[in-house]
Structure 1
Amino acid sequence: MADKPKQQNKQEPQQSVFLKAMITGFFGGILWSGVGAVAYYFNFTELTAASFMFRSFLQTEWTGTWLAEILAILLVGLLSLLIAILYYILLKNKNGIWPGLFFGLSLWGIIFFVLRPIFPAIPSFLELNSDTWVTSGCLFILYGVFIGYSISYEYREFNDAANSYSKEGGV
């Protein structure tokens, strides 16, 4: 009879939860800014990641190309690492979709109202059409829920595993 592998109760280190939050942030930024590029292509919005990242600071022809859009999406992924860290620090122990939803709406408000002077190529909020308002708002909500729910889930799973491990006689 073959030996059955012994099950070991291994606790996942806290570092890996933070690392998973960073990975979630990076891919969340890429995913939702990519969806934003698709929404721009189908005329649901007047703005793309390249609008914010490049066209506000560079007045060259290449900023209107697909290469600029891909580079901007990657840059949003990198900036999203900072946003994931912020969520991890402030809201990791909040459960449900509501914290992520409000986090996403807050980001939307900060970018469109507070940071708007930094991006001169972006029209003011009232100059944008309602499709852009709704689409960008929804994308930020989805991004916030994606980041928030994923980070909170990983944090909760880690704590549940740590609690059950300590109850079973672990260190």
Structure 2
Amino acid sequence: MAESNKKLEQNQEEKPLSFIAMVVLTGLVGGILWSGLAQIAYVFNFTEIRQNVILEPWALGDWKNGWLGTVISICLIGGLSIIVALIYYATLRRFQGIWVGMGYGIVLFLLVFFVLNPIFPGIPPFGDLTRNTLITSVCFYVLYGTFIGYSISYEESENKQKEHSEKEVPS
């Protein structure tokens, strides 16, 4: 009898992620995805910058240059990407379209290659970078910014549309 009063598991609705949880997940996936693809670009000599540069200032030993260092670096970039996504959420989520995300990616590129460059000895000075490295890096940062920006602003738009439709139709 008690079971007949309960809903069957297959009939229960899955609760959607909260907006902040979606932002965190977007940041993590974006960081891991795009840094993983950037590492593949390094393997195929499209860029001279490895993902392991993030470990250079802090980690000791040669392990950071092997596969373990690469995996840890990509995961660390995924973690830092959560912070980048939360900053986008706090400042730019209301803007629609891909242009804001692309601009955000360019700002991140400029931040890493000009402001943070002295921290990472594995990234040559901007003027010493090859054309392939510059083009590949800008493209990855623009794609990353677009991924983060469009995902978050789309979800913001969907939430506003849902709230607006709930206000119009009384329950």
1:43 aligns with 2:45: yes
Q: 2:112 aligned with 1:102, yes or no?
A: no
Correspondence 1:21-170 to 2 at 5 A: 21-51=23-53, 53-58=54-59, 60-170=61-171
Counterpart residue number, 2:5: none
Unpaired runs of at least 5, structure 2: 1-12
For residues 52 and 70 of structure 2, the distance between their equivalents in structure 1, rounded to whole angstroms, comes to 5
Q: Distance in 1 between matches of 2:88 and 2:146?
A: 11
- RCO (CA 8 Å, sep 6+): is it higher in 1 or 2? 1
| Partner Cα separation in structure 2 for residue 142 and residue 41 of structure 1 | 19
User: Identity across aligned pairs (percent)?
Assistant: 42
Runs of 4+ in 1 over 6 A off after TM superposition: none
Would you say the 8 A contact 2:49–2:122 is kept in 1?
Answer: no
Aligned length in residues: 158
Contact kept? 1:104, 1:141, Cα under 8 Å: yes
Output one character per residue of 1:90-133: Cα deviation in whole Å (capped at 9) or x when no partner. 11011110000000000000000011111123210111111100
Correspondence for 1:19: 21
TM-score between both structures, scaled by the size of structure 2: 0.87
Which of 112-121 and 32-41 deviates more?
112-121
Which one-letter code corresponds to 1:128 in the other structure? L
Asked if structure 2 preserves the Cα contact closer than 8 Å seen for 1:100 and 1:148, the reply is yes
In 1, Cα distance between equivalents of 2:132 and 2:164: 47
Unaligned 5+ runs, structure 1: 1-9
Question: 1:30·1:74 contact (CA, 8 Å) conserved in 2?
Answer: yes
Give the C-alpha shift of residue 89 in structure 1: 0.6
My pick for the range that moved more, 57-66 or 154-163, is 57-66
Report deviation, 1:59.
5.3
**Distance (Å, rounded) in 2 between the aligned partners of 1:157 and 1:164:** 10
Say if 1:28 and 1:147, in contact at 8 Å, map to a contact too: yes
